Structure 1
Amino acid sequence: MINQVTLVGRLTKDPDLKSTTEGTPVTQVTLAVNRNFRNHNGEIDADFIQCTLWRKAAENTAQFCRRGAVVGITGRLQTRHYDNREGKRIYVTEVVAESIRFLSSKPSANVVEQEKKEEVPIVL
């Protein structure tokens, strides 16, 4: 059987690196992938696809990518389910990434410095 997915799209938000209880790095990202055709209004729609990255791929993505970055992901499609607090079964379909390529250019030092200046410190 073949279960292989290849996607190219933009990250919808900054990756948030987490770890499992065993210490394995993981991040979940949503990839906005444009469709190849226009809708009845002449606009191009996008699909928003959940992707899970593990280990070094998760660490590198969190370190080097930001919202809007163009990435290419290859992986496998996976479905799972769980019961929520109300007892309703929830189904989740996601791409479990096997590799990721960063397709955006690296931000210049000036852009990174400007982003740091725009951060507002939290005073408690």
Structure 2
Amino acid sequence: MNKAILIGRLTRDIDLKYTQGGMAIGRFTLAINRKMTREKKQEAERNNQPTADFIGCIAFGKTAETLSNYVGKGNQIGIEGHIQTGSYENKEGQRVYTTDVIVDGFTFIDSKNKNGGDSEVQDESYDGFYPTDNDDIPF
């Protein structure tokens, strides 16, 4: 079984390109915090050790276009996919090995607008619920 489920923040906007046949390909990197105590995290930061992993992801077709249109740098998303490895020869003739997560599905988790506020919540006073009049209820 090859299944990956990740929750993280985009490190930059999705790089969306199209093949000659018109297929969309979106490449992005998710920053995923490592699970550690506050003390261990502070110690790692003091010693210039990583506190997050950076996972390369690839989405295809409508999935790639939707992600590119609705998420960007700093947004938090959940993805479901599978791991794919590969290799290629670089310009210097050296073999480079790759590991990516191929996105099969996704979930929007957190969307921040440019002002730092939550772009999904228009009016925080209702917290997702809106008042209704009892006359509007059909039963």
TM-score, L = length of structure 2: 0.72
Residue pair 2:44, 2:51 contacting (<8 A) in 1 also: no
Q: Does residue 41 of the first structure (1) align with residue 43 of the second (2)?
A: yes
Shift of 1:107: 3.8
SS in 1 for 2:67: helix
Distance 1:26 1:39, change over 3 A: same
Larger fraction in strand: 1
Cα distance in 1 for partners of 2:33, 2:104 equals 21
* Structure 2, gaps ≥5 residues long: 118-139
Number of corresponding residues: 109
TM-score using structure 1 length: 0.80
> Which amino acid is 1:84 matched to?
N
Question: Paired residue for 2:127?
Answer: none
The structure with the larger Rg is 2
Q: Percent identity?
A: 40
Query: What is the match of residue 82 of structure 2?
Result: 76
Who is 2:94 aligned against?
88
Match of 1:23 in 2: 22
| TM-fit CA distance, 1:105 | 3.7
SS across alignment from 1:41: helix
Partners of 2:75 and 2:112 within 8 A in 1: no
Q: For 2:110, what is the secondary structure of its paired residue?
A: coil
Say yes or no: does 1:5 pair with 2:4: yes
| 5+ long unaligned stretches in structure 1 | 112-124
Q: Secondary structure at the match of 1:57?
A: helix
Where in structure 1 do 4 or more consecutive aligned residues deviate above 6 Å? Answer: none
